[in-house]
Amino acid sequence: MNNITDSQKTIDLVTRTLNKRYAAEYRFKLYGLAAMTIGLACVVLLFISIIFSGTSALWQTRLRLDIDLSVEVIDPDNQKSLEVIGEADYAGLIRDALFKLFPEVTNKQQKRALSGLVSAGAEFELRDLVLAAPELIGTQHSVWILAHSNVDMLLKGYIDQQIVETERKIDDQTIAWINQLVATNRVAQHFNRDFFINGDSRDPELAGIGGAILGSFYTLLIALILSFPIGIMAAIYLEEFAPVNFITYLIEVNINNLAAVPSIVFGLLGLAVFINFFGMPRSAPLVGGLVLSLLTLPTIIIASRAALKAVPTSIREAALGIGASKMQAIFYHVLPLAMPGMLTGAIIGMARALGETAPLLMIGMVAFIVDLPQGILDPATVLPVQIFLWADSPERGFVEKTSAAIMVLLGFLILMNTIAVILRNRFERRW
């Protein structure tokens, strides 16, 4: 009887203990699910905020003006010289077209304000149009002219018309002119192609990320050319050929430590060595690529060594058993099997390099660059630095440009990580 009672007590005790363990496990799952939900919600909110703020930058306000492309102004000697045509007073032609729409504007100050409806770069767009089609000279042509950033911000709703006139950038008279243009169907939103092909500018409506994209491309190209082969060779040597001694151990420890060093330290190293000691040009993609190659080398070496370790020892032994040398076994049998993991590590390293700002600030790639870089020695900037510069600008027009540039940068990062995942899943071997 006592044995039955003791057994029942034991069973009850085990049952209560199991119930507590199951309850604790269930709570832990709930905590994990809640943490994952909160994290995903924060990421989704961040993306929604960026997209909501940056999508408007993909559209730019333009004004339709009937411009009299006068021969007397553009080509007075009628020689069809491109040099003469290119130096004509196109700003005056645009002003004349505006004044014809508002003949009641006679005051000099009002005329200056009316001329401010169009962008400072509108005259260059009109010049390029005439140079591309000289047959337009002597005709009246309807042209969509780029509007000033303040006009663009007003029509996009970023400038509140209800606040006091002295507290906004556009006065009531200018708003009346804009409303009149809207009523006569002379205002429209066009796709902002210039955002992707222009360099930086002091005027928000003219600023673009074309120079930053080219600078990022040249910089990452230099970093990849240098870091990928060096990283793979270093990983092969350390994993397959290096003797096990104190020096090898010291090298491995330093590589692991370098992977965790703050990126600005590499910028200081690049400033001291590449610029101050070797005299390389500041703000050049060549120097930026050298700095980023130092930054990504530890990541590539660690990922490549992990990929080599994942290849079974039997592959090496089988190659050696049929008469291959150790070099042949590594390069003809082990390396092809480890290459997908190495490529994944390289792409992840390049993705990290694409998003770096601090080391490039130290070597001068924070400069204001208007012209598109034509090579690795020309002054350039990169996307993260361009975002940093625009985010620090007080102009309201740069806010949407900043968000749009972040969207482009995130798009590149997502693309690179997606490629890394596809390569890993497509070519990775399970042993």
User: Which CATH number does the domain housing residue 326 bear?
Assistant: 1.10.3720.10
CA dist., res. 119 & res. 209, Å (int): 18
pLDDT tens digits, one per residue of 224-246: 999 999 999 999 999 988 888 88
Q: Determine the pLDDT at residue 206.
A: 92
Q: Where among 39, 55, 71 does a domain terminate?
A: 55
Q: Where among 55, 80, 99 does a domain terminate?
A: 55
Is residue 166 scored above 90 in pLDDT?
no
Tell me: do 403 and 296 sit in the same domain. yes
Number of structural domains found in the chain: 3
CA dist list (Å): 336 to 230, 270, 341, 428: 17, 34, 10, 11
Tell me: do 166 and 282 sit in the same domain. no
* Burial of 329 from C-beta contacts in 10 A (0-12 / 13-18 / 19+): buried
Whose CA is closest to 51, among 404, 390, 402?
A: 404
- The answer as to whether 201 is a domain residue is no
Query: At 219, is the pLDDT very low, low, confident or very high (cuts 50, 70, 90)?
Result: very high
pLDDT tens digits, one per residue of 331-375: 998 998 898 889 888 888 898 898 888 888 888 888 788 888 988
Pairing state of beta strands 187-191 and 140-146?
A: unpaired
Tell me: do 121 and 253 sit in the same domain. no
Tell me: do 333 and 408 sit in the same domain. yes
Model-level pTM? Answer: 0.86
Tell me: do 73 and 47 sit in the same domain. no
Is residue 80 scored above 60 in pLDDT?
yes
Mean pLDDT of the region 187-206: 92
Other Cβ atoms within 10 Å of 427 Cβ, number: 14
Q: Determine the pLDDT at residue 340.
A: 85
Tell me: do 140 and 275 sit in the same domain. no
* Burial of 406 from C-beta contacts in 10 A (0-12 / 13-18 / 19+): buried
- The answer as to whether 198 is a domain residue is no
Tell me: do 46 and 80 sit in the same domain. no
Contact yes or no for 143/67 (Cβ under 8 A)? yes
Q: Determine the pLDDT at residue 98.
A: 92
Tokens of 196: 């992707």
Query: At 3, is the pLDDT very low, low, confident or very high (cuts 50, 70, 90)?
Result: low
Q: Determine the pLDDT at residue 165.
A: 81
* Burial of 131 from C-beta contacts in 10 A (0-12 / 13-18 / 19+): exposed
- The answer as to whether 200 is a domain residue is no
Q: What angle do CA 53, 56, 59 make, to 5 degrees?
A: 160
Q: Where among 25, 55, 85 does a domain terminate?
A: 55
- The answer as to whether 328 is a domain residue is yes
Tell me: do 144 and 267 sit in the same domain. no
- The answer as to whether 205 is a domain residue is no
- The answer as to whether 303 is a domain residue is yes
Q: Determine the pLDDT at residue 431.
A: 61
Tell me: do 45 and 94 sit in the same domain. no
Residue type for position 359: P
Averaged pLDDT score across all residues of the chain: 88
Tell me: do 105 and 26 sit in the same domain. no
- The answer as to whether 70 is a domain residue is yes
Share of the chain above pLDDT 90, in %: 42
Domain containing 184 equals: 59-192
Q: What angle do CA 162, 186, 180 make, to 5 degrees?
A: 40
Tell me: do 141 and 280 sit in the same domain. no
Tell me: do 67 and 31 sit in the same domain. no
Is residue 256 scored above 70 in pLDDT?
yes
- The answer as to whether 112 is a domain residue is yes
pLDDT tens digits, one per residue of 260-306: 888 889 999 998 999 998 888 888 999 999 999 999 999 999 999 99
pLDDT tens digits, one per residue of 286-299: 999 999 999 999 99
